């Protein structure tokens, strides 16, 4: 590493994100330095910028580094690290140290320190045919997989996904990879719904054209219990964060339906607890942490089916065009996953 300083994307306050010059990291014991080649822009990154921090309640005591969906090449290895070597192409599970999510490191930078570097836990070698941009999808794909596993979804289950943003689309891809066929997804953005169709959704419904419950009744079937109608959907995965969509799903859920909330709801949502009791509806949160196994499964899927995941990435921007990339990622009409690339670091 020739340079002594590098740019790092950090949030300083609401709507205030800057590329700050910071020292290039050096590895301490148990750490590796990764030369970043690709880093996805996540909805949570945009949320941190808009809110001015993780929750927007307390002012930041120091700038917040962002970027947690990334892959690159190991540049340096600290003492005590086994199974990893300089020059290895890798993807990184950001859970340890909360990379880009409250910790001291962020991957929207040419180099990043990975603390607790452990083969198959935090750092995962890449097959030669997997590109860095594909590998950077392992993080959002593992978010979708974690929700699937939280609900115990099997290939024969009928699944509805609320929201066709990047996480919703990644969830479609993971469900299709495991053999699920009765996949429905709902959104208002037709371009994202078209991506969902290509990725394997059997129903991609624009709720401005047809109500969600009506579409599910046609696609999954409908029934009645205790005089109340329901749809035959086995599992709902909320990737939208829309109170209206969640309450509609809850109100139409059948006996022993399962619901996972992946999206960030900024305000409390009122749910019909009588219906929850009477229909034994299971509702669970799903936040992907401590998910080394799911991360590895996502990378294995990428290695098998990487070309089929092309619809997930809508744009590639060089890191030099950071602010333009953020503007594009914030436009739901034109973007899915926006990927930052580091031309000088690609190999």
Fold classification of 140-285 (topology level): Rossmann fold (3.40.50)
Fold classification of 5-136+290-345 (topology level): Quinone Oxidoreductase; Chain A, domain 1 (3.90.180)
Handedness of CA 20, 22, 25, 28 (dihedral sign): negative
Beta bridge partners of 261: 238, 285
pLDDT tens for 243-254 read 999 999 999 999
Which among 121, 140, 119, 126 is positioned nearest to 37, based on CA atoms?
126
1 pLDDT more than 60: no
Model pTM score:
0.94
pLDDT tens for 158-168 read 999 999 999 99
pLDDT tens for 146-191 read 999 999 999 999 999 999 999 999 999 999 999 999 999 999 999 9
Structure tokens of 223? 């029934």
Taking the C-alpha atoms of residue 132 and residue 119, their distance in angstroms, rounded to an integer, is 18
Whole-Å CA distances, 337 to 86, 141, 326, 331: 29, 11, 11, 11
347 pLDDT more than 80: no
pLDDT of res. 58: 65
pLDDT of res. 74: 98
pLDDT tens for 98-129 read 999 999 999 999 999 999 999 999 999 999 99
Taking the C-alpha atoms of residue 189 and residue 336, their distance in angstroms, rounded to an integer, is 11
Q: Confidence band (pLDDT; 50, 70, 90) for 60?
A: confident
237 or 333, which is more confident: 237
Asked if 223 contacts 213 with a C-beta cutoff of 8 angstroms, the reply is no
Q: Which residues contact 242 (CB under 8 A, 6 or more apart)?
A: 162, 163, 263
pLDDT of res. 345: 67
pLDDT of res. 57: 58
Taking the C-alpha atoms of residue 193 and residue 311, their distance in angstroms, rounded to an integer, is 11
Average of per-residue pLDDT across 326-343: 94
Mean pLDDT, rounded, of the chain: 94
Which among 157, 45, 35 is positioned nearest to 92, based on CA atoms?
35
Domain ranges of the chain: 5-136+290-345, 140-285
Burial class (CB in 10 A: 0-12, 13-18, 19+), 343: exposed
């Amino acid at each position: 590493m020739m340079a002594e300083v590098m740019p790092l994307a950090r949030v300083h306050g609401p709507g205030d994100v800057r590329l700050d010059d910071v020292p290039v990291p050096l590895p301490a014991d148990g750490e590796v330095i990764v030369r970043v080649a690709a880093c996805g822009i996540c909805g949570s990154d945009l949320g941190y910028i808009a809110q001015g921090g993780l929750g927007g309640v307390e002012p930041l005591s120091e700038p917040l580094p962002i970027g947690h969906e990334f892959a690159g090449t190991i540049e340096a290895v600290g003492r005590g690290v086994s199974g990893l070597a300089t020059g290895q192409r890798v993807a990184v599970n950001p859970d340890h140290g909360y990379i880009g999510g409250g910790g001291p490191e962020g991957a929207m930078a040419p180099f990043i320190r990975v603390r607790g570097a452990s083969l198959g836990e935090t750092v995962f070698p890449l097959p030669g045919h997997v590109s860095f941009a594909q590998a950077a999808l392992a993080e959002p794909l593992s978010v979708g997989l974690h929700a699937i596993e939280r609900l115990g979804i099997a290939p024969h289950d009928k699944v509805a996904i609320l929201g066709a943003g990047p996480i919703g689309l990644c969830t479609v891809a993971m469900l299709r990879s495991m053999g699920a066929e009765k996949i429905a997804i709902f959104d208002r953005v037709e371009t994202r719904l078209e991506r969902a169709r290509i990725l394997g959704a059997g129903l991609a419904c624009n709720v401005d054209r047809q109500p969600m419950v009506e579409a599910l009744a046609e696609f999954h079937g409908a029934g009645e219990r205790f005089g109340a109608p329901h749809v035959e959907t086995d599992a709902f995965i909320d990737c939208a964060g829309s109170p209206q969509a969640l309450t509609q799903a809850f109100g139409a859920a059948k006996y022993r339906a399962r619901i996972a909330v992946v999206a960030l709801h900024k305000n409390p949502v009122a749910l019909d607890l009588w219906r929850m009791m009477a229909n034994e509806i299971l509702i669970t949160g799903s936040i992907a942490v401590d998910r080394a196994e799911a991360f590895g499964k996502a990378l294995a899927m990428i290695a098998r089916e990487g070309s089929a995941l092309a619809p997930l990435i809508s744009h590639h921007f060089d890191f030099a065009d950071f602010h333009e990339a953020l503007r594009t990622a914030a436009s739901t009409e034109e973007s899915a996953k926006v990927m930052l690339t580091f031309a000088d670091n690609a190999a």
